[in-house]
Chains A and B, each alone.
Chain A
Amino acid sequence: MAPPSATRAGSNKRAQLGLFAGYLAAGLGAALGILLLAISLWRPETFNGLRSMASDAAAPVGEVGAAGRVGSRNFFEAIAGYYNAGSKNAELEEEIEIARVRLVEARALEQENERLKAVLDLADGDVAPVAVARLIGSTSTSTRRFAYLSAGSNDGVAPGMPVTSPLGLVGRVLEAGSNTSRVLLLTDTDSVVPVRRATDNTVAFAEGRADGSLRIRLINLGINPLEIGDIFVTSGAGGMFHPGTAVAMVSEITDDGAIGQLLSNPAATDVVIVKPVWQGELMDTMGDPLEPDQTEE
């Protein structure tokens, strides 16, 4: 379509000035963009307040959508399923074989666990959740992997708290607005979780790769003991994440570890649980009854 004549100023002084002002304003906008970008890359937390306010304001939109997510997720997965249906089928059959064995093993472990707990007279180790909420959206257009959660500081959510679903770990709270909060998903490249193999104590770090898979890097380098199908759970090292939450399953072996598929796909979770920050080791050392006088202070 033909442009308006304003883009050609001709000898009209006013039009010339207007055109110049337009370029100037747009140029200043770009310069401001560079400045803000530099600030937010240097100090990523600078604009958190603004973001929280914005997502609080738009939360109702997300809430409406979240209810219908299960349906739309199925729709997308149905399409995605056609890509590699054959190989996936074979993979799945193999996985089922493995899973059956694991199930029997798990049952045995569970029995043993119950017996030992009964011996020690321990209560169930489940922690009370801080909040139960929905994931109302995610940064689906950006390479960063954040999700928006429909609970904020009004519900007791605070930065650092781990977010889990019944299938496993989802991520951790990065910032909390009053009614919404931003969650750093496990697949973000900034997310690093200390994990161990569920069957033994092979410790590793699980790093996000921004594409739905995790890179599992072994801490003890040497012969790579991992096999496809191994399950990794959080080790609880360093606090924050509760130990024993499922994280990923190995799908590909690399030189220094493996590539793991996320067990708790955030898209498949309707409701997630926010747990308090785990401070197990800290509590143990604090509760160590060496000097009772100090603990009373």
Chain B
Amino acid sequence: MERLATSARRDAYGSKINRAHSPVLAYGVPWLTTMLGSLTPLLPVIAPAPILPPLGYLVLLAWRLARPGVLPMWAGLPLGFFNDLYSGQPMGSSILLFSITMISLELIELRFPWRSFWQDWLIAAIFIPIYLLSSALFSGVEIGFDRLPILIPQVLLSVIAFPIVAKMVSLLDNLRLTRVRRIG
């Protein structure tokens, strides 16, 4: 009788015997975690100034950079809509910014298909300030150049938070590809 080595019965995502990747998990986890990130305003922090990183956007960036192709290009529309429901921004602002992000990341992907984490972080560090600045402009707040420094703490915090979010996303990626029991 032919026998496989015991190590061949398992891989990083669990035992291979009678277990397979679940499509619900594989496709659902990125959507669900991005939407959870968009619920940041319901965190128990009543901020007198914009301070918390836009977690929904960070999670979207992290998923898109780490796993191209998992989120379709049109994902900016539904995810941006959900983000707008809670962020306090005028409806449409995140839809626009999320969609543009997805398109521009696709173009960056074409130019730089092989990237290390540092390049991913650099991309995030370029996208996050643009996102926050555009959000501030779209929010309808009359904000002059002299008042722009109120955005600086949030921009810095968001850029610094990106590696943490990216690490969490890579842990969630393991969960996404976990083998679950096949029935039948």
Contact = CB atoms under 8 A, between A and B. Distances in A.
Contacts of B138: 37, 41
Interface in B38-66: 39-55, 66
Interface string A18-54: 0000110111111011111111110010110011001
B150 A148 contact: no
Interface in B95-143: 95-100, 102-103, 106, 109-110, 113-115, 135-136, 138-143
Interface stretch (A97-105, A119-127, A204-212, A237-245): A204-212
Interface stretch (B1-9, B79-87, B174-182): B79-87
Interface in B17-52: 39-52
B86 A54 contact: yes
Interface residues of B, number: 63
Contact of A143 (B67, B94, B95, B139): B139
In which size bucket is the chain A interface? 35 or more
Given A26-B99, A140-B40, A144-B141, A55 B86 contact: yes
Contacts of B50: 140-143, 210
B110 to A, nearest CB: 6
A28 B97 CA distance: 13
Interface in A65-79: 65-69, 72-73, 76
Contact of B139 (A28, A68, A76, A144): A144
A30 B42 CA distance: 26
Contacts of A209: 147
Nearest to A69: B44
B91 interface: yes
Contacts of A54: 85-86
Contacts of B66: 1
A159 interface: no
Contacts of B48: 145, 185, 187, 211-212, 262, 265-267
Contact of A135 (B46, B86, B92): B46
Interface of B: 39-55, 66-69, 72-74, 76-77, 80, 85-100, 102-103, 106, 109-110, 113-115, 135-136, 138-143, 147, 150-151, 154
Given A140-B51, A267-B46, 14 more contacts: A2-B113, A3-B68, A27-B99, A30-B95, A33-B92, A39-B92, A40-B92, A41-B138, A137-B43, A139-B41, A140-B46, A141-B53, A141-B154, A269-B46
